[in-house]
Chain A
Amino acid sequence: MVTRIKTSAKPVFVDRKDALVAEERFFERLRNNLHALQGIFNPLDGRTYDASARNRIEKSLDVRTAEVKHAIKRLAERDLQGLYEEMPKNRILLNEITHKELLGARGVKVVVAGAAFNPIEDLISSGRSARSMGGEELARIKDLIVAHPDVFYYLGAFATTSWDPGCRTLLIGPNYLIALCDRIEDAWRTYWAPDTRWRGAARAFDLAGEEEKIEAVHRFVRRRPFALLMDEMTEDYVFEELGYAIPIIREAFERIAAEDPFVRFDTGARPYRLIRTYG
């Protein structure tokens, strides 16, 4: 019997610049995904609405940006403007999908939102942080965004550091679904609340392309030789860590095994895994 043990993960620090860049990239990718979105499902009325540009209104909420400014004023002593420019802004981006009935006014049916989460106080005071984002802040922002009970909200919450495991319990509501996004070892990672209502909307928060994901799995495997040696590099393990779909993980495993003569893709038993071979 093999003892599975979780070793204490080393904290990954993010500085102001990294956080700012990551935040900008998150919104850039989210926008790209939204442009590619043709229709979006509203679980409240069971209808799929046209999500093309003419039915989409992009809005930006400045509430949290103002909070960042206040925090800088409170914690920093000099060069406030310079500091503000360096800092991530904890932005919120709303994309309202509207629809006009034959006889009626145009109304918002679905909102696809993106929100960035940063350890603002740490970044102001010490310039860097490894603090993960907690459930409280997530719940606060969710309440801020989810304002109308007859509109369905899909929210992509991006943390430049990481998320507390407890946050996973807060992702499902009657008129909202939340996806937790972060970055692990230079790879985009998304955790979707397990819910059948996601349908095609889940793609909006899938921030990495297929090749990027395969490359990310490559890096992940390469940096964990111990898991490979202990026969623990399973597709489930990679799924837990990176959140990528199993077919993508298998594709990456196949490529790794084809490239490395000392690695074999063992499909003899589930979960499929990569194992060390010297043969």
Chain B
Amino acid sequence: MNGSRMLENIKRILGLKDIPEELSSLYRGAHNEREALILLKEARRRDESRRRRALQDLEVFTQMEEELLEEGKGEVSESRRLMLARRVKEIRGKSEELNSRIDNIYNKRLRIFNEHIHSLETVLELTTEELPDKQAMEEMAIRAKELLENLEKSRELAEGIALSTEPPQPDEEEKQILKEMERRASLEAEKEEIEPAPPEPAEEREGVSEERREIRKERPREEPKRVENPEIEFEE
């Protein structure tokens, strides 16, 4: 299949009407990297098969050369030997030509294709996930930094405010109320001093409480009264 037919097939597969050459410099007018990759892989496959064919042809030449040399070895007729020698010379010429074609064209071109295909594959792999816009990223980073700075400033401010603040001063009315509170407190204290309350023995209280706890532990948990089947109860 020649190149143009292959291109037609690719266009058909991709559903494209035409691929103008001037549209893209990727490869043979491909619109995008993916198209270029397909075309390049096709081109590489064609060159690989050309190289393979050339190598097979070289084997044919080598085999025939060998046969003719063998034949010439046992040939007694000088003219026939000369003919065989000429034929071997021709074969060697063709072999050289073919070797040169493999080295100078196919091998070199395949290296180039491989390199470009590798680059395109890398590009395609990297572009499968969309990255954010650079400007947006920069703006967001600046904004984030500013916000963090503001937060820090607020924190510092808050701390500063906490250190410098004096306790609130009561007004006149509040002062009087406070005095009243103090007065009442001193009165209660005096009263307690005059009539001290008999203190409860701590041990006894503790013993009672422990006893109560033990009673709680020992007392089995009352099972909820089960309601038997009323019919059976009636029969008993």
Residues of A at the B interface (CB closer than 8 Å) are 2-3, 5, 7-8, 225-226, 229-230, 261-262, 276, 278
Contact of A5 among B2, B49, B84, B101 (CB under 8 A): B84
Which B118-169 residues sit within 8 Å CB-CB of chain A? none
Q: A3-B90, A229-B57, A261-B49 are in contact. List 4 more A-B contacts (CB 8 A).
A: A5-B84, A225-B60, A229-B61, A261-B2
Which B62-116 residues sit within 8 Å CB-CB of chain A? 64, 67-68, 71, 83-84, 86-87, 90-91, 94, 101
Least CB separation from B1: chain A residue: A261
What are the 8 closest A-B residue pairs judged by CB atoms, nearest first? A3-B86, A278-B50, A225-B60, A262-B53, A226-B64, A5-B87, A3-B87, A226-B60
Known: A229-B60, A229-B61. A278 touches B86 (CB 8 A): no
Contact at B101–A230, with CB atoms within 8 Å?
no
Q: Which residues of the other chain, B, contact A278 by a CB distance below 8 angstroms? A: 50, 53-54, 101
For the complex formed, measure the closest distance between the CB of B74 and the CB atoms of chain A, giving whole angstroms.
11
For the complex formed, measure the closest distance between the CB of A105 and the CB atoms of chain B, giving whole angstroms.
61
Contact of B94 among A7, A230, A262 (CB under 8 A): A230
Contact at A8–B57, with CB atoms within 8 Å?
no
18 A–B contact pairs at CB < 8 A? A3-B83, A3-B90, A5-B84, A5-B87, A7-B67, A7-B68, A226-B61, A229-B57, A229-B60, A229-B61, A229-B94, A230-B91, A261-B2, A261-B49, A262-B50, A262-B53, A276-B57, A278-B50
Contact of A2 among B1, B64, B67, B90 (CB under 8 A): B90
Q: How far is the CA of A262 from the CA of B57 in the complex (A)?
A: 11
For the complex formed, measure the closest distance between the CB of A159 and the CB atoms of chain B, giving whole angstroms.
27
Count how many pairs of residues, one from A and one from B, have CB atoms less than 8 Å apart in the complex: 34
Q: Which residues of the other chain, B, contact A226 by a CB distance below 8 angstroms? A: 60-61, 64
Q: Which residues of the other chain, B, contact A276 by a CB distance below 8 angstroms? A: 57
Q: How far is the CA of A198 from the CA of B91 in the complex (A)?
A: 43
Q: Which residues of the other chain, B, contact A2 by a CB distance below 8 angstroms? A: 90
Q: Which residues of the other chain, B, contact A262 by a CB distance below 8 angstroms? A: 50, 53
Q: Which residues of the other chain, A, contact B101 by a CB distance below 8 angstroms? A: 278
Least CB separation from B91: chain A residue: A230
Q: How far is the CA of A88 from the CA of B64 in the complex (A)?
A: 37
Contact of B90 among A8, A225, A230, A261 (CB under 8 A): A230
Q: Which of A7, A225, A226, A278 has the most CB of B within 10 A?
A: A278
Q: Which residues of the other chain, A, contact B49 by a CB distance below 8 angstroms? A: 261
Q: Which residues of the other chain, A, contact B64 by a CB distance below 8 angstroms? A: 226
For the complex formed, measure the closest distance between the CB of B52 and the CB atoms of chain A, giving whole angstroms.
10
Q: Which residues of the other chain, B, contact A225 by a CB distance below 8 angstroms? A: 57, 60
Q: Which residues of the other chain, B, contact A8 by a CB distance below 8 angstroms? A: 71
Q: How far is the CA of A225 from the CA of B62 in the complex (A)?
A: 12
Q: How far is the CA of A278 from the CA of B99 in the complex (A)?
A: 13
For the complex formed, measure the closest distance between the CB of B195 and the CB atoms of chain A, giving whole angstroms.
124
Q: How far is the CA of A232 from the CA of B61 in the complex (A)?
A: 14
Q: How far is the CA of A204 from the CA of B83 in the complex (A)?
A: 41
Contact at B71–A7, with CB atoms within 8 Å?
yes
For the complex formed, measure the closest distance between the CB of A118 and the CB atoms of chain B, giving whole angstroms.
31
Q: How far is the CA of A254 from the CA of B50 in the complex (A)?
A: 21
For the complex formed, measure the closest distance between the CB of B41 and the CB atoms of chain A, giving whole angstroms.
17
For the complex formed, measure the closest distance between the CB of B88 and the CB atoms of chain A, giving whole angstroms.
10
Q: How far is the CA of A262 from the CA of B1 in the complex (A)?
A: 10
Which B22-68 residues sit within 8 Å CB-CB of chain A? 49-50, 53-54, 57, 60-61, 64, 67-68
For the complex formed, measure the closest distance between the CB of A231 and the CB atoms of chain B, giving whole angstroms.
10
For the complex formed, measure the closest distance between the CB of B97 and the CB atoms of chain A, giving whole angstroms.
11
Contact at A5–B83, with CB atoms within 8 Å?
yes
Least CB separation from B95: chain A residue: A229
Least CB separation from A278: chain B residue: B50
Least CB separation from B105: chain A residue: A278
Q: How far is the CA of A234 from the CA of B87 in the complex (A)?
A: 18
